[in-house]
Structure 1
Amino acid sequence: MIAPEPPVPVPTRFVPPPGTAPIVQLRGIAKYFPGVIANEDVDLDVMPGEIHALLGENGAGKSTLMNILTGIYQPDAGEIVIDGYPQSFASPVEAIAAGIGMVHQHFKLVKAFTVAENIHLGWSDTPRAVSAAVLERRTAELAQALNLTVDPAARIGELSTGEQQRVEILRVLTRKARVLILDEPTAVLTPAEAHELFRALKDFVARGNAVIFISHKLDEVLEISDRVTVLRGGRKVATEQTAGCTETSLARLMVGREIVLSDMRGRSAGAAPIGAPVMTLEDIRADDGQGHVVLDGLSLVLRAGEILGIAGVAGNGQKELTQVITGMRQAASGRILVDGADFSRAGAAEFADFGVGHIPEDRLHSGLAPSLSITDNAVLREYDRPPLSGGFGFNGRAATALAKDIAEAASVTVPDFGMPVRNLSGGNQQRLVARREMRIASRVLVAAYPSRGLDVGAINMMMRYLVELRDKGVAVLFISEELEELLNLSDRIAVMFHGRVMGVVDTAEADIDTIGLMMGGKRLTDDAKGRGH
């Protein structure tokens, strides 16, 4: 059995003297967009030495509230108080000067630059004429002082997501931030990377600083935070001591009703049975373009009317697997058979025409065109089909009508379908992509981390999307790092490690310890493997 992660060490807790003012107070904050109440009459106070969690459904107003605190938006009502004094921030530069820094879901680093260059970019303390060696030495000293391990000479594009996040945090903290705002910080981290982040956050607040922690992962909120504030529909519904909360109580506050993530493997009377193979992968090998093997002799079978779950720590070839079976990347060797036809050299358009939908791992940059409108993004898969296109060119009215249908089916409220899709919250982007891809997934849906960044109610809805397709006879490939999700949804689970399949098990007979061992690189025995295939 794989040894569990050691508990996060708890530094000496910072206890502010009696009468200490909150570092941050938000009083009666309101923000309105056309047709949407983003925030209304929101109060929030954050104390020195505190990790304060901010919870709410997708679109509840969490990111808007933090964008107001950091000067990206201006409030329509209310005031910001820092250390007992009213403040107004016209830009993030003014906010960071007052000690308020934010690390966004989508990092704002220059990938071609080194870590040291990114740390010093746009910083008033950067010397005017210095060498790369000096910048790297300064970065190393700053990283050591703040207990954040980074490689100053590494280029951002060569780093893992967790390493890039550390650079973002270091970049904010070097500018003397006393309040660190983290928006969904663990959404793209492995468990080990999340463990390192939590340790760094506890060190940070032990020095009298504060963290505002935006997350949808209730177990993490309970583990890391001291207090939690819940928003619903743009309004604050509660602030509670985390020690007195449970996952159930927090979920109820978020959505206003009981949410139960149940076992969804059961089939309704009219559901399609598990059928013949729709797609077969035989001995697939692929590299990352730089000579590193990412898929190493991988074989899988996707069957009609079945959800095949893929377990494994992120970064073990899952992303490349989804690219190969959607035509975005060609395998170096091996075969992909689709209904018996060889698709090994087929492109993305041929896979889509066959009926393969794809919810990608990176929804904003792989699933969407951020600068294009919501309408354009919603109809990306069908723009060349009637009624959108015909003998008289593109039908804009039909495109808007289809976009509204997709948004309604996805339960996404859109004030203006002409605005850039990047203006939607991350969860609403995810639901829009999912519904769009489901429309073309008549044979296969590839869903990579589809619940990532979603609140508990939206996760339940996403899982039902996948069950809905399965029951129509579609083959679903479902990739997740959450074993509970995989066990509640999948018919079979394949475990990936270093680009290989360690084994495939029937979920009804799955043993969590065995799956954990396979995630660590132990192959399933031949007898058990035979039962899984």
Structure 2
Amino acid sequence: MEYVVEMLNIRKEFPGIVANDNITLQLKKGEIHALLGENGAGKSTLMSVLFGMYQPEGGVIKVRGKEVKISNPNIANDLGIGMVHQHFKLVENFTVTENIILGSESKRFGLFIDIKGAAKKIEDLSKKYGLNVDPYAKIEEISVGMQQRVEILKMLYRNAEVLIFDEPTAVLTPQEIEELIDIWKTLVKEGKSIIIITHKLKEIKAAADRCSVIRRGRYIGTVNVKETSEAEMAKMMVGREVSFKVEKSPYEPGEVLAKIEHLNVKNNKKVLGVKDLSLEIRSGEILGIAGVEGNGQTELVEAITGLRKIESGKIDLKGNDISNLSIRGRIESGIAHIPEDRQKRGLVLDYTIEENMVLQKYMKEPFSNKLGLLNKGEIRKYANKIIEDFDVRSGEGAISPAKTLSGGNQQKAIIGREIELQPELLIAVQPTRGLDVGSIEYIHKRLVEQRDKGKGVLLISLELDEILNLSDKIAVINNGELIGIVNADETDEKEIGLMMAGVKKEDNNNEE
């Protein structure tokens, strides 16, 4: 059997943790191979070893049958291996072409960088693989999905034969995901070989030929995707049966907890991102907000949490107008927020986990005394409880810097911190983005638990399944306006999809 890449018995250790415990992965030429595992299972580490970002303590890497030492990413590039990272590595104010040629500039007569020639080559590559990228567009002006295509072009420009994608669909809309899978299939037809790091079973079924599973740093096995069910793969990944259904008691709403009246909020382009929006959230209710990304969800959440000022309208919590309170004032009045961007808004990446767990509370007893001196012991005890309850995995526990955790474990830490505030209103934005099925099941339970304690939960998610599964009521927004509110158990994906496209509920019925 001819393999383009073989990783045999790879071992990689970090302080306090064996990330890869003798893992073997074999990639055939022209296949899409999924690397599946829970958050922190060691998937990204294994691929970072292949891409030369880490050196393994043991094991052998072969490329096209020859043993190689990949001591840095430039050597990986020379061997025809490219990687698109989960958080893209692009310079915002450069054009697409400038980003792609960075580090591999070809100079005409040794003096000038031939931007025109590069742009032409990029345009040809873009056409060949159906990427539709404008070589002269600036990165800051194009969508996340387009930025990902720029990363793909960067690899193709350097003649990569093996393309690695780390959690490639975490930031894409459902339509962009379909387009990406089509792009992969085109790449494979042209003789490329692809590895996708993921924990989304639906996408593995749609795209991959074979799937290798790792759990807690160990290799579990490789299966043929066509012959293996999602439930079987989930069990290999988590080590137990996983329920894909959310268990919850019947919906019994209490009184109105939060009231949003005629809210108008400007977006970053200085036009209204939220238009005359009114909503009520009751205690004992999960209100889901459905909409295609960029339709006012971000502005709405930032207006409620105090991150963005409102133009007009009113936000009321338990009978008090909180529209002009500071962010801290809103936290004190009972709002907790699981933010959309865990690295920009959720954590201070250079702080330890324990420091991050008390960001809203460090100035209060028992975490500090009247003189403002921090009580390290209490802080650690509190952090350890969250780490334990929410299964936050890290090398050195509470003293691990936040930036050393995998994305999914960063997410679990934030969710733990926010739920531990015991808020009246929990705003959960994309709470399970980047989490594996085992963690998703757990987080869903915790959100339902908040609702059953009589709290209100505002859930914003781009995963329609999640909205339909978890919510009691669903509010659909399009272009910053409320299109309609439906009961979750009386609707389906089709109806919500139409509303997301801007078709009002009464118009749907006319079409039937």
TM-score range, shorter chain: over 0.9
**1:149, 1:143 → 2: CA distance?**
6
Give the 3-state SS of the residue equivalent to 1:322 in structure 2: helix
**Residue from 297, 315, 334 that aligns with 1:336:** 315
Aligned match of 1:5:
none
Counterpart contact for 1:273–1:473, Cα < 8 Å? no
Deviation at 1:293? 2.7
Alignment of 1:165 with 2:145, yes or no, is: no
Q: 1:139 to 1:333 in 2, by over 3 A?
A: farther
**1:187, 1:492 → 2: CA distance?**
25
**Residue from 279, 289, 295 that aligns with 1:316:** 295
Deviation at 1:371? 2.3
**Residue from 42, 48, 66 that aligns with 1:67:** 48
Give the 3-state SS of the residue equivalent to 1:390 in structure 2: coil
Aligned match of 1:421:
402
Letter in 2 for 1:512: E
Aligned match of 1:77:
58
**2:249, 2:463 → 1: CA distance?**
19
Using the TM superposition, name which of 340-349 and 239-248 deviates more: 340-349
Letter in 1 for 2:435: L
Aligned match of 1:237:
220
**Residue from 263, 277, 288 that aligns with 2:267:** 288
Counterpart contact for 2:8–2:59, Cα < 8 Å? yes
CA deviation profile, 1:101-133 (whole Å, cap 9, x unmatched): 111111111112222221122224365524765
Residues 72-471 of structure 1 aligned to structure 2 (within 5 Å): 72-125=53-106, 128-130=111-113, 136-266=119-249, 273-392=252-371, 393-416=373-396, 417-471=398-452
Aligned match of 1:531:
none
CA deviation profile, 1:339-383 (whole Å, cap 9, x unmatched): 222222223212111121111111122211222222222222222
Letter in 2 for 1:403: A
Counterpart contact for 2:205–2:225, Cα < 8 Å? yes
Q: 1:256 to 1:434 in 2, by over 3 A?
A: same
Deviation at 1:74? 0.9
Identity of aligned residues (%): 44
Using the TM superposition, name which of 169-178 and 223-232 deviates more: 169-178
Q: 1:471 to 1:435 in 2, by over 3 A?
A: same
CA deviation profile, 1:455-481 (whole Å, cap 9, x unmatched): 111100010110111111111011122
Q: 1:345 to 1:174 in 2, by over 3 A?
A: same
Letter in 1 for 2:91: V
Letter in 2 for 1:182: F
**2:377, 2:118 → 1: CA distance?**
54
Deviation at 1:134? 5.5
- Give me the TM-score of the superposition, normalised by structure 2: 0.94
**2:355, 2:472 → 1: CA distance?**
35
CA deviation profile, 1:68-106 (whole Å, cap 9, x unmatched): 111111111101110001111111121111111111111
**2:192, 2:116 → 1: CA distance?**
31
**1:374, 1:124 → 2: CA distance?**
41
**2:162, 2:442 → 1: CA distance?**
34
Deviation at 1:396? 2.7
Structure 1 runs not aligned, ≥5 long? 1-18, 529-533
**2:102, 2:138 → 1: CA distance?**
14
Give the 3-state SS of the residue equivalent to 2:433 in structure 1: coil
**2:473, 2:297 → 1: CA distance?**
16
Deviation at 1:512? 3.3
Q: 1:421 to 1:180 in 2, by over 3 A?
A: same
Give the 3-state SS of the residue equivalent to 1:43 in structure 2: strand
Letter in 2 for 1:508: D
**2:461, 2:346 → 1: CA distance?**
17
Give the 3-state SS of the residue equivalent to 2:330 in structure 1: helix
Structure 2 runs not aligned, ≥5 long? none
**2:454, 2:203 → 1: CA distance?**
36
**2:102, 2:133 → 1: CA distance?**
16
Aligned match of 1:3:
none
Deviation at 1:141? 3.4
**2:163, 2:365 → 1: CA distance?**
49
Deviation at 1:487? 2.2
CA deviation profile, 1:317-350 (whole Å, cap 9, x unmatched): 1122211111111122221112222222223212
**1:74, 1:96 → 2: CA distance?**
16
Deviation at 1:527? 12
Aligned match of 2:15:
34
Using the TM superposition, name which of 402-411 and 143-152 deviates more: 143-152
Letter in 1 for 2:344: H
CA deviation profile, 1:168-221 (whole Å, cap 9, x unmatched): 111122111111111111111011111111111111111211110111211110
**1:240, 1:126 → 2: CA distance?**
47
CA deviation profile, 1:377-419 (whole Å, cap 9, x unmatched): 2222222221222224122333222222211111113322333
**1:395, 1:126 → 2: CA distance?**
59
Give the 3-state SS of the residue equivalent to 1:30 in structure 2: strand
